[in-house]
Structure 1
Amino acid sequence: MTVVRTLLALAFSVATLAYADINIGESVPTSGLAGDTGKALALGASIYFGRVNAQGGINGEHINLITRDDGYDAARTLANTRDLIDKENAVALIGYYGTTPLQELIKSKILDTSGISLVGAYTGADSVRTGASAYFFQTRAGYTQEVEKIVSLLNDHLGVTRIAVLAQKDGFGEAGYAAVKEELAKRKLTLAGEGWYDKNSGDTNAAAQELAKVNPEAIIMVAISKPAGTFAKQYKALGGTSQLYGLSPIQYDEVTKLVGIGNAHGIGLSQVFPAPTNAQLKLVRDFQKDAEPFLKTGDYPSYALLEGYISARLVTEAIKRAGKTPTRASVYAALNNMKRFDLGGFIVDFSDKKRLGSNFVELTMISPTGTLTR
């Protein structure tokens, strides 16, 4: 049993010490290629709900986080969602994972027909961000904004013109790929090369060989953590010298554990939440205090852990505002009227029918010690 799985089980036990009266549903991959990130999202949410329950819950009622494993498969995501709504009577959903699962979820209209809110999803694709569903409340900036930040640094500030892309073959990869092409076109540039890998296998060998032949000045990785790590290792072994940059779905701690600090050092990553080590923010201080019992000695709290924690805080606030007996409709109304909610240095704003709660983006880099510099 992995450390992450053990910690997740411990957190769930804390979150459900008493009979849970308020059910919150979540569908994430807790197995497969994206399993570590999915478990971290669920753990982060469970840690915060555990805190709320330990303090007596909300109006005497405890929160029960019901997490279903979807293996990063859209069909399973839809089946889990129906189960969470129809069988578990969830009043809200939280922290889903992946572009393609979210595209299918939005397309199915399950959120709209059930009148249930989804708070936070691990995707920044425009296809699920803009006018997708009034019931989807997003907590993170989009891939377009992340790519703009990276390309601006590379081209506008560093003079880099030969930029290639590594992308995953699915809705996520296509969204990031399109954003890179569009951002380069604004500067009258074209892609120096492209490499793709299969979503299910995560095999990046062919992509590494293809891009090593080109060896551009920089490569933007539209990838998740494990394929990004294996690509970096393979690419460097083939003699590639490009500066590697990745989008926020890449968790730096997963990369360093998978391929070692030597292969991870120097990878740049865009982030859509404050650094989970930035104790200058009250949000992060609270998060660190709550997460500390669930971290192995020497481990750093991850961005995915913080993302799940933030989504749980928002859902909790909405439940508090929803009245003594929260329903799907009252939770939705509370979220719909959540104006510039300050979580302690990180503001989420759903006022004026906004559904994109944050535009925060910053760039980081994996240091020689395996930590992040900003």
Structure 2
Amino acid sequence: MILRNVLLTLALMTTATSQADINIGESVPTSGLAGDTGKALALGASIYFGRVNAQGGINGEPINLITRDDGYDATRTLANTHDLIEKENAVALIGYYGTTPMQELIKAKLLDNAGIALVGAYSGADSIRTPGSPFFFQTRASYTDEIERIVSLLNDHLGVTRIAVVAQKDGFGEAGYTALKNELAKRKLTLAGEAWYDKTSGDTNSAAQALAKINPEAIVMVAISKPAATFTKQYKALGGTSQLYGLSPIQYDEVTKAVGVGTAHGIGLSQVFPAPTNAQLKLIRDFQKDAEPFLKTGDYPSYALLEGYISARLLTEAIKRAGKNPTRASVYTALSNMRKFDLGGFTVDFTDKRRLGSNFVELTMISPTGTLTR
């Protein structure tokens, strides 16, 4: 997916509502290794908030989305969050990115101390889910859920027993690695091999060489989009023939753009939201209509764009339920009571104690044309 003038669009949307009383804060990477995904998350939220503002806002007040770049750096995430809470007086936060930034955010208790809700984060690590924070409302299934589906397909249905892993060396990689080992252990299997890559550089060359020597039946990629793409290209160039499967942080459109359809074809990916092309769902029809002006002709809206849109839609509903002059406390209470809320074919379920809003997972594969099949 190619987004036109993404940063300019975000700036214009924010400027247009700079006098708004309803400030929403977001810290995502809009630069660096994860920049494309972060920009898509931010744009997805902006698209929905823009729709709300075009219809008069909430009780006459527009929503002002304030997006800060953290470069996928937890230290910057914490600093951004502090500013969004203290200087921008955000009533809620939305759509953060990454396991390690979320781990540090929860550890610092910034959400708890400020009494501010965060809706949606681009991570499914168990370490941020249990116990997590009561102020963190999660819209994704867990990496454990994703790994279970992948291993079930590979082993239970296809009879694959030699499964290896390539993982990012950080909290995200550790979460996926541990989930995979545990899932294999349930079947009395062990990893056929493992390789790691550096989060900052994204260099997967050594990992590709190590696993090409083993050439297992399948490799699970606990990676983000760009390193997954480079690993795939390097691994196949070395003669590797393993079936490659990746978790939902890998955006298929970023992979195909980076290495070409021929190399990306056949990669399996787990997804934690409905397909952005599934127009049978009202949510997706609305999303496609709202996103269309931001796409070039022939481009497909991405999962990351949809994820940002869903989080914004959910948070908007909570703000509406919070009544006139919403506060952090009233928005938090509204989210806590959002039972089985149907966004139009995708349901999120929160209670006063439950913060894991969804366990939706489906498996997809990159087709010979570069689209996804389910």
Structure-1-length-normalised TM-score: 0.98
Give the 3-state SS of the residue equivalent to 1:116 in structure 2: coil
How many angstroms does 1:15 deviate by? Answer: 5.6
**1:285 to 1:39, Cα distance in 2 relative to 1, 3 A:** same
Task: State the distance in 2 between where 1:74 and 1:263 align.
Answer: 33
Task: State the distance in 2 between where 1:62 and 1:15 align.
Answer: 10
What count of residue pairs does the alignment treat as equivalent? 373
- 1:334-363: CA deviation from partner (whole Å, max 9, x where unpaired): 001001100000000002421000000000
Letter in 2 for 1:139: T
Letter in 1 for 2:116: I
How many angstroms does 1:11 deviate by? Answer: 4.7
Task: State the distance in 2 between where 1:88 and 1:20 align.
Answer: 11
The runs of at least 4 consecutive aligned structure 1 residues that moved more than 3 Å come to 2-5
Higher mean C-alpha deviation, range 344-353 or range 357-366: 344-353
How many angstroms does 1:278 deviate by? Answer: 0.2
Structure-2-length-normalised TM-score: 0.98
Where do 5+ consecutive residues of structure 1 fail to align? none
Please show how residues 66-77 of structure 1 align to structure 2 within 5 Å: 66-77=66-77
Task: State the distance in 1 between where 2:31 and 2:58 align.
Answer: 32
Corresponding position of 2:227: 227
Corresponding position of 2:104: 104
Corresponding position of 1:160: 160
Give the 3-state SS of the residue equivalent to 1:20 in structure 2: coil
Letter in 2 for 1:9: L
2:133 aligned with 1:133:
yes
CA contact (8 A) 2:166 2:221 kept: yes
CA contact (8 A) 1:15 1:47 kept: no
Give the 3-state SS of the residue equivalent to 2:21 in structure 1: strand
Give the 3-state SS of the residue equivalent to 2:161 in structure 1: coil
How many angstroms does 1:12 deviate by? Answer: 4.5
Task: State the distance in 1 between where 2:14 and 2:292 align.
Answer: 15
Letter in 1 for 2:9: L
Give the 3-state SS of the residue equivalent to 1:297 in structure 2: coil
2:1 aligned with 1:9:
no
Corresponding position of 1:61: 61
Task: State the distance in 2 between where 1:147 and 1:73 align.
Answer: 26
Task: State the distance in 2 between where 1:115 and 1:153 align.
Answer: 42
2:174 aligned with 1:174:
yes
Task: State the distance in 2 between where 1:280 and 1:7 align.
Answer: 28
How many angstroms does 1:29 deviate by? Answer: 0.2
CA contact (8 A) 1:4 1:39 kept: no
Please show how residues 285-364 of structure 1 align to structure 2 within 5 Å: 285-364=285-364
Corresponding position of 1:35: 35
- 1:197-233: CA deviation from partner (whole Å, max 9, x where unpaired): 0000000000000000000000000000000000000
- 1:228-257: CA deviation from partner (whole Å, max 9, x where unpaired): 000000000000000000000000000000
Task: State the distance in 1 between where 2:351 and 2:252 align.
Answer: 33
CA contact (8 A) 2:30 2:69 kept: yes
Give the 3-state SS of the residue equivalent to 2:72 in structure 1: coil
Give the 3-state SS of the residue equivalent to 1:280 in structure 2: coil
- 1:245-283: CA deviation from partner (whole Å, max 9, x where unpaired): 000000000000000001100000000000000000000
Give the 3-state SS of the residue equivalent to 1:81 in structure 2: helix
Letter in 1 for 2:5: T
CA contact (8 A) 1:15 1:53 kept: no
CA contact (8 A) 2:2 2:295 kept: no
How many angstroms does 1:297 deviate by? Answer: 1.2
Task: State the distance in 2 between where 1:116 and 1:153 align.
Answer: 40
Corresponding position of 1:148: 148
CA contact (8 A) 1:340 1:349 kept: yes
Please show how residues 234-249 of structure 1 align to structure 2 within 5 Å: 234-249=234-249
2:210 aligned with 1:185:
no
Give the 3-state SS of the residue equivalent to 2:141 in structure 1: coil
Where do 5+ consecutive residues of structure 2 fail to align? none
Root-mean-square deviation (CA, aligned residues, Å) is 1.1
Corresponding position of 1:217: 217
CA contact (8 A) 1:277 1:300 kept: yes
Letter in 2 for 1:344: G
Task: State the distance in 2 between where 1:55 and 1:176 align.
Answer: 42
Corresponding position of 1:119: 119
Task: State the distance in 1 between where 2:367 and 2:14 align.
Answer: 35
Task: State the distance in 1 between where 2:46 and 2:53 align.
Answer: 10
CA contact (8 A) 1:40 1:308 kept: yes
Task: State the distance in 1 between where 2:167 and 2:30 align.
Answer: 22
Q: Percent identity?
A: 84
Task: State the distance in 2 between where 1:85 and 1:346 align.
Answer: 30
Letter in 2 for 1:10: T
How many angstroms does 1:65 deviate by? Answer: 0.3
Letter in 2 for 1:105: L
